[in-house]
Chain A
Amino acid sequence: MDEPVLRSLGLTIRFGGLVALDQVDLEVRAGEIVAVIGPNGAGKSTLFNIITGVYGPTEGRVWFDGKDITGRPTHEIVARGIARTFQASRLFADLSVLDNVVLGLHTRTTTNVLEAMLLPGRSRRELARAAATAEGILEQIGGNLFEQRKRRASELAQADRRRLEIARALASQPKLLLLDEPTAGMDDNDTDALIEDVRKLKADRSDMAIVVVEHDMRLVAALPERVVVLDYGRKIADADFDTVRRDPRVQEAYLGSSAS
């Protein structure tokens, strides 16, 4: 078996007396889609925040691509190849749709401040190239984001905002894509479209791993190869969807003990 692209061991984080994550081990292989589910407050978003360096864990370590990235600053982790989206979409609202994706290419461009001042032609060409790449990504992502590329991101409809966030994350050509509740606030049609988008994405970039935090069971049933269940910060299941669905501990976590 080859080395997993992402591996965590004994990941624990305490906020004061609250144990938000408790000894979580996780492995994600290249090209795999993994869903992380669990009741509210189970620690799903916290897990993402530790992987991307927003928080440093109290205990435990995270390896990405064979290297220890525990507690490294976010920008460094992103440059190594992890991209994410946010639960409540976080776009650069007063910039154009295209600029949002160009910013996704930030780690793929290199001009520093002196070069920008002294070699304006080069830095402008670099940005123009990035814009061309970004247009390509927008054409690929579906919907009609490409046609809307010159609008402000704040003017987009909800489903398009999600798409744009995913496009921005993809721009950095990540090896691992983290999607934090991509269907939040979407209706059934939008959710179906999103599932289609992710499938298409997968076909185009077969070795990119995706970890998705999700509440929508239709998506969880349709997409991932493996489902990880968190409850009160602990991992209580890690298997395919059908096995997880029948797991009594999972049912208890979701429905309460009296239901089982």
Chain B
Amino acid sequence: MKADGAPATKTFSTLRAGTVVIGSSLAVAAFLWAFITADSTIAVVALLVLLAAFFFGLERYPQAEAVVVRSFAEARVTAAIVWLVIVLGFPFLFGQNTYFLHLLVMCLIYSVLAIALNFQLGSANIPNFATGATYGIGAYCSALLALEFGWSFWATLPFAALAATLFGFIIGLPSMRTRDAYLALVTIACGVIIHQLLNNFEWTGGPQGLIGIPAPTLFGYSFASPLPVFGYTLPFQANFYYLALALLALSIVVANRLHQSRIGLAWNALRADEIAARAVGINVVWYKVLAFAVDAFLAAFAGVVYAFYISYIAPDNFTFLVSVTLMTMVIVGGMDNVIGVILGAFLLTLLPEKLRAFSDYRLLFYGLVVIAFLMIRPQGLLPQRLRSYGA
């Protein structure tokens, strides 16, 4: 591929890579738009069948996946520009529909949470069922600081993250005495304890939770006011869309940087064989605790954004069920593949909303869809790929 020095061929291959990048990116955006705005059950089912057919095809013809991956690697600048336009312009597609924008914000927040969990479940194979709890700690910590002491959103952000990271260390350390199913049990217990504490403490507002969390402001501009852009006005949810988007971008950068360092490689070694990892000199306990801490750090960020967006939080937003949902997102999306994890988060955040027509059978149908996608793509929608160095 690289050996052919003829400029004509090179132009052609660049052109082809660019076309593949633009085409596939627009297709993804169009599908997402169609899925969010689909209002009839038939349309939702048809879109799910289309998605299933697409991944079925990808499973049958892995070459197609390779072409897309290579095109994105070759046309990096094009890809960056196309995606910048897509993500920045996306809210404009929904006009004044606040519900659709709300769904998007929740998709972004869950994407951040799923990436956080991916550090453990995907990279290091640590089954952590307490991500919902660290998410809650972030949310409560920032809400309390804002309500009790009048701190601004921006000031609570680092403190909430720090508090949750500390919690990550605290549940991480005792968890290290156990592994596999027992480790999962310890984290489940931690998650349940946090939920119960939030429910029973006086100062967390008990089951009613905390209300009236003030919207963030930036240079005097309140996030609760509609967003004017070039004479066009977007609903206030758009503010939080861009805020959550920035957080997701940060998470992706952190995830990529860690993945491409010796830290990510060491986590992968833990996943593959803990005894061998020890034998190459990896401090297994430290790296596991580190995975807990990084998970807690990002999950807390997501919690802060959520608290300030909804302006009302209660213990029931941070139950064990949230952790299970996050785990499903990572597994369905593709362990240790950031794009796959985001895909899983979007799919599983939107699915329950889109299946409302099934009313009582909603959860049943949801489960069936998850199982169907796992059967079509057993390694996840976008499975982990081998690393490559330099050239």
Contact = CB atoms under 8 A, between A and B. Distances in A.
Interface of A: 52, 54, 73-75, 78-79, 83-84, 86, 90-96, 98-99, 102-104, 106-107, 109, 111-113, 115-117, 120, 123-124, 126-128, 130-132, 150, 152, 168, 172
A94 B272 contact: yes
B283 A128 contact: no
B280 interface: yes
Contacts of A109: 262
Interface string B67-109: 0000000000000000000000000000000000000000000
Given A54-B278, A90-B279, A99-B265, 16 more contacts: A54-B275, A75-B281, A78-B278, A78-B279, A86-B275, A95-B387, A102-B265, A106-B269, A113-B258, A117-B258, A123-B257, A124-B260, A124-B261, A127-B261, A127-B262, A150-B386
A81 to B, nearest CB: 10
Nearest to A110: B262
B273 A96 contact: no
B257 A117 contact: yes
Interface residues of B, number: 33
B390 interface: yes
Given A75-B282, A106-B262, A123-B257, A128 B273 contact: no
Given A78-B281, A96-B386, A123-B257, A91 B262 contact: no
Contacts of B294: 113
A103 B261 contact: no
> Which of B263, B294, B389 is most buried by chain A, counting CB atoms within 10 A of its CB?
B389
Given A111-B263, A113-B263, A127-B260, A99 B280 contact: no
Given A90-B273, A92-B268, A94-B272, A116 B258 contact: yes
B254 interface: yes
Interface of B: 254, 257-258, 260-266, 268-269, 271-273, 275-284, 290, 294, 384, 386-390
The 7 residue pairs across chains A and B that have the minimum distance between CB atoms: A78-B281, A116-B261, A92-B272, A107-B281, A131-B389, A90-B276, A123-B261
A74 B286 CA distance: 13
B279 A74 contact: yes
Contacts of A79: 281
A88 to B, nearest CB: 11
A54 B284 CA distance: 12
Contact of B273 (A91, A106, A112, A152): A91
A5 B31 CA distance: 65
B280 A168 contact: yes
Given A98-B389, A116-B261, A128-B390, A107 B273 contact: no
